[in-house]
Amino acid sequence: MENADRLKNILKSHNLRITDCRLKVIEFFLYKETALSQGDLESKLKQYDRVTLYRTLSSFLDSGILHKIPNAAGIATYGLCHETCSPDHHDHNHIHFKCNNCGETECLDDKSVPPVTLPKGYLINAVNMIVDGFCAKCA
Amino acid sequence: MENADRLKNILKSHNLRITDCRLKVIEFFLYKETALSQGDLESKLKQYDRVTLYRTLSSFLDSGILHKIPNAAGIATYGLCHETCSPDHHDHNHIHFKCNNCGETECLDDKSVPPVTLPKGYLINAVNMIVDGFCAKCA
DNA sequence: TATTTATACGCAATAAGGTTGCATTTATGT
DNA sequence: ACATAAATGCAACCTTATTGCGTATAAATA
């Protein structure tokens, strides 16, 4: 099946070994289309150890498959990167949206973050925008 | 001393009892002028129990003295609210800046978040912007 | 000012998230 | 098929987050 090949190619292109756990995690992200925390993975992929999932997320973060999404809850959440991201260069300019009803966080890939200026002397590395409210399904 | 009165008035105006711990916590926020986590408070205000500090932060959050600042680290951090904030209505439109060198997060009260538009069907409650890079001191 | 009472505090305990070390298993290059 | 570097699972530990409960105390009231 070509879908399986697609998943494998994502790993290959990021120089990661192909393992069941990694394939399942990527598949889950692609299926959900929302930001996920380690807890989300643990409850859905019970066949894998907490630590394995933790290290899977870490390796995906390092290799540019996932990016961390800031939130106020104090729980690390992750979103899928664009194809254009690599370990040394993340290129994210989209808005993150958190729904206060269903609790899901999603990457609005079509919505780019407006330019900002900072006070004199500040150097900008990256800009993150998190909007909360009600998503299209919950509004 | 009038400074003490200022601190007490902040508590009074938010309908909170005046206690040593609460005064010290507010004083610390005013002094630091940066966002703080519970861990920051614990290491500086060792005379109070962790739980007391935890509940102090909670009550300040509920009463509108503090607001939570999203971050990618997975640790809850808090910033002082404007005078205009109340329990039922937070009015924040400033940019948060996280320095990748000194690690401090600050509220750039003078810098307002640019307006954003979302896809059809979305309802916006609040917009949070976190910029990271190097602050004026570390650049 | 003394008394009452609702609230805050400190301690103990627990849950959950995050992280590391190590022995075993497995993916992949030869 | 074999060798080896990497991934996994388990145990363990640390930090942060959170609740219950008895005691202490701020502030309302008499």
Structure tokens of B94? 């400033």
What is the arithmetic mean of pLDDT over B99-122?
90
Q: Which nucleotide is nearest to A55 (CA to C1')?
A: D7
Asked if A110 contacts A94 with a C-beta cutoff of 8 angstroms, the reply is yes
Rounded to a whole number of angstroms, the CA Rg of chain B reads: 16
Using an 8 Å CB-CB cutoff, list chain B residues near A126.
131-133
Confidence of residue B55 (pLDDT cuts 50, 70, 90): very high
pLDDT for the residue A40: 93
What is the arithmetic mean of pLDDT over A7-13?
94
Q: What is the pLDDT of residues A42-85, one digit of tens each?
A: 999 999 999 999 999 999 999 999 999 998 887 889 999 876 66
Question: Longest Cα pair distance anywhere in chain B, in angstroms?
Answer: 54
Give pTM, 2 decimals.
Answer: 0.87
Q: State which nucleotides on strand C lie below 7 Å from a protein beta carbon.
A: 7-13, 16-21, 26-28
The integer distance in angstroms from the CA atom of B3 to the C1' atom of C16 is 40
Number of CB pairs < 8 Å for A and B?
129
pLDDT for the residue B112: 85
Q: Does B102 touch chain A (CB under 8 A)?
A: no
Residue A1 pLDDT greater than 80, yes or no: no
Q: Does A102 touch chain B (CB under 8 A)?
A: no
Closest-CA residue to B25 (of B67, B68, B60, B51)? B60
Residue B85 pLDDT greater than 90, yes or no: no
Confidence of residue B82 (pLDDT cuts 50, 70, 90): confident
For nucleotide C12, give the residue with the nearest CA to its C1'.
B51
What is the arithmetic mean of pLDDT over B35-54?
93
Using an 8 Å CB-CB cutoff, list chain A residues near B33.
none
Residues around strand D, C-beta < 7 Å = A 16-17, 19-22, 47-52, 55-56, 59, 74; B 11, 17-20, 37-39, 42, 50-51, 54-55, 75-76
Q: DSSP letters along A82-136, please?
A: PTT-BTTB----EEEEEETTT--EEEEEEEEPPP----TT-EEEEEEEEEEEE-T
Using an 8 Å CB-CB cutoff, list chain B residues near A66.
none
Task: Please list the helix, strand and coil fractions of chain A in percent, rounded to the nearest 5, in that order.
Answer: 35, 30, 40
